[in-house]
Amino acid sequence: EVHLVESGGDLVQPGGSLRLSCAASGFTFSNYGMHWVRQAPGKGLEYVSTISSTGGSTYYANSVKGRFTISRDNSNNMLYLQMGSLRTEDMAVYYCARDCSSAICYTDYWGQGTLVTVSS
């Protein structure tokens, strides 16, 4: 069974940094692209970032480009999101999600999410 467990969410001040982690299990992690998707309180889903199965390609939403970095450790089945220069509008539940393949297609599994609060 596919399992994605996020961690690292916390209260951080504007301008601060945070690293989110996602532990994957139940599938061959190195065969799949992975995404981060966020949801602000009471709002819809918003795409954040994608990394290819090998880590060789990364993509970002314009709203986080230059501030966030996605990475992965295929040896340990881990996905990361390094977040910097945080703004109040970055406050959201962040979901780790699996792509349906090694290339880019739809999201077929979601984690339970981790809450990032940005406030002074």
Closest distance to another protein from the beta carbon of 118 (Å): 21
Closest distance to another protein from the beta carbon of 49 (Å): 9
Of residues 91, 81, 66, the one with CA closest to residue 12 = 91
Tokens of 108: 């077929």
Tokens of 117: 């609060």
100 binds another protein (CB under 8 A): yes
Q: Is 14 or 115 the residue whose CB approaches another protein more closely? A: 115
Which one-letter amino acid corresponds to residue 9?
Answer: G
Considering only residues 69, 102, 107, 117, which one is a binding residue for another protein as defined by CB under 8 A? 107
CA–CA distances in Å: residue 87 to residues 12, 14, 65, 78? 10, 5, 13, 25
Closest distance to another protein from the beta carbon of 83 (Å): 18
Site for another protein in 13-72 (CB under 8 A): 35, 37, 44-47, 50, 59
Closest distance to another protein from the beta carbon of 100 (Å): 7
Interface ranges with another protein (CB under 8 A):
35, 37, 44-47, 50, 59, 95, 100, 104-113
